Amino acid sequence: MVSDTSSTALAVAPLLEQVLSEYHDQYNVSLLEITNSAPTLMVFLRHFGCPFCRESLSDIHALLPELEKSGVRPVLVHMGDEEDTFTLFSRYGLSPLSRISSPTRMLYKAFGLTRAKTGEFLCADTVRRCGEALLGGHSIGKVQGDVMQMPGVFLVHRARIISAFRHRHAGDRPDYVRLARAV
The 10s digit of each residue's pLDDT in 19-38 is: 999 999 999 999 999 999 99
Residue pair 145/46 in contact by the 8 Å Cβ criterion: yes
pLDDT tens sequence for the chain (183 residues): 444 444 444 445 678 999 999 999 999 999 999 999 999 999 999 877 777 778 889 999 999 999 999 999 999 999 988 888 999 899 999 999 999 999 999 999 999 998 877 656 565 666 555 556 555 665 666 666 777 788 999 999 999 999 998 987 767 788 889 989 887
pLDDT for the residue 3: 42
pLDDT for the residue 49: 74
pLDDT for the residue 169: 72
Residues linked to residue 153 through DSSP beta bridges, in sequence order: 43, 165
pLDDT for the residue 1: 40
Number of domains in the chain: 1
* Residues 6+ positions from 13 with CB-CB distance below 8 Å: 158, 159, 160
| Structural domain span for residue 53 | 3-180
Q: Which CATH number belongs to the domain containing residue 96 in this structure?
A: 3.40.30.10
Whole-angstrom Cα distance, residue 52 to residue 56?
A: 6
The CA dihedral of 156, 63, 170, 95, to the nearest 10 degrees, is: -80
DSSP string, the chain: --EE-HHHHHHHHHHHHHHHHH-B-TTS-BHHHHHHHS-EEEEE---TT-HHHHHHHHHHHHHHHHHHHTTPEEEEEESS-HHHHHHHHHHTT-TTSEEEE-TT-HHHHHTT--BPPHHHHHSHHHHHHHHHHHHTT-------S-TTB--EEEEEETTEEEEEEE-SSTT----HHHHHTT-
Q: What's the N-to-C CA distance of the chain in angstroms?
A: 16
